[in-house]
Amino acid sequence: MMSGNSSGVSNVPTTTTTTTTTNNNNNHNKQLKKNKNKNKQMNKTKTKSKSKKRLQHSNDNDDDDEEEEAKQSVMNLRRHQEVEAEAEKGKITEVPPPPSTSNSDSDWTDSTIMTDNWTLVKKYAHDPVSFTQGLEVVPFHIASTLFDNYKAEQQKQQQRQQQQQEDEEEEAEDEECSNVEEDENDDQTCNSNTNDNDTPNPPPPLLVVESTGMYGDSLVRIWEPKIGTIIKETSMNKKLFGEGLCFYRDTILLDTDTDTNDATSPPVERDLYVQLTYREQTILIYDAHTLELLKTIQKWPSETTTKEGWGITYNPTERIFYVTDGSDYIHYWNRQFQEIRPKQRVYINELITVDDNQNDDEKYIIWPRKEDSTSYPINYLNELEYDITTNTILANKIFDDIVLRIDPETGLVLTVYNFDSPNGNDKILYPKSLRTNKNVLNENNQNSDQNENDDIELELAVLPEPDVFNGIAIIPNTDGKEWLLTGKYWNSVYYIRIDE
């Protein structure tokens, strides 16, 4: 989802320029210079002059400043230990990440790397009027059944059409048709059936499930990207604004269940999709095979920071949901949608790029570490996708053509995948200059007649970029390296491979 209020946001930059204040840069550059001189004296590294994007160091080499900063670092660590102790006693519910005391020129363990190491494999057509909120690949065991049923229904429909055509031809046919002609027709039919049987079996179907937003236009659909065929589709109530969704398995009490059900029957887990809504605090649960709406939860058991719902994904190992709401926090819900641990802020300590040409491993700083050891909070977190291979979360950030890889335990952004040419090499997924960037709401959202939604729609209508990057789906059995990516009102879904 997106919000009209963009004030106070530290967006991840798409170029390698420093965005901190002048004082922070000067002081940080002083420290980098001192570390660089020390490394020269110890013959551990060899300094090279590289790109203009590399930060320039100052000429100050005052040892007193270094000693003072070391003392301050110790004080920061002690304060963090005090905060942890208070948290254990229940006095506070949220512990910020510990301050870093490492030399930023030698220890990268808590740094965030920005990279554009990805390759475009292919792209598929996408519905350009879909306000995409959530995207997932349908599990193969469900996709196979759905696609087989779809093909069977298509064959039945073709047979009905063929039979109707044959009946019409028979009515117009001369009654004196010879038996020889009838035999030839039978042979042709037999040959046709033989050719169909000789057709090789298609590869396992790749189906995606997508949720869309906007009042009156929100829906959930399953479709096949290669040919663009819609397999299943369920429209939402016009009073609901659809948001992210994800697959999970659970036993649920349906809205249609009664007390007369056999209590001795063992519970049976179902394949389900859960979907959030924007500001209605309503949760929708669908049958994953039919997209039938099974249950509606009118009030969230646990509120989010903004009281909104944006993105959701599921960790099947720990059986918990990760939820975003447009803020810089991730929320943790169990399968009853109750918060099971304190929310976690998503942050970056230091954002860097790495040039590994000729084994140089040269580091270029985009966001330097702050002198007060605080971090950069990353807000406007949107669509989510859980990567079971690495136990990390992939996330979109509204208005930026990036994907964040987040450690769900600490909130640290491990990697920023940039799809907007961070190195100026024209490696862009979908150039913003080719997007509509127009007020699509007035043209495509004519179904909403709810007066209570007028303010929200006005808020969305004035957004400078309605067709933003939003939609991540990991393709199974690829070790988490192959993704489908799209956005709101985009005309393509991009199949990409991560080169790591």
For the stretch 60-85, pLDDT in tens is 444 555 555 555 555 555 554 554 55
The tens digit of pLDDT for each residue in 15-60 reads 333 333 444 444 444 444 444 444 444 433 333 333 333 333 333 4
Which residues, at least 6 apart from 443, have a Cβ–Cβ distance to it below 8 Å?
none
Q: Are 271 and 282 in contact (CB under 8 A)?
A: no
The token pair that represents 100 in the structure block: 């870093």
Computed over every residue of the chain, the mean pLDDT equals: 74
- Domains contained in the chain, CATH given: 22-110 (no CATH), 114-138+207-258+265-498 (2.120.10)
The tens digit of pLDDT for each residue in 109-134 reads 688 999 989 999 999 999 999 999 99
Q: Measured between alpha carbons, how far is 368 from 381 in angstroms, rounded to an integer?
A: 22
The token pair that represents 375 in the structure block: 């971090």
What backbone torsions phi and psi does residue 331 show, to the nearest 5 degrees? -105, 150
| Residue-level pLDDT at 61 | 44
Considering just the CA atoms, what is the radius of gyration of the chain in Å? 28
pTM equals: 0.69
Q: Measured between alpha carbons, how far is 373 from 69 in angstroms, rounded to an integer?
A: 11
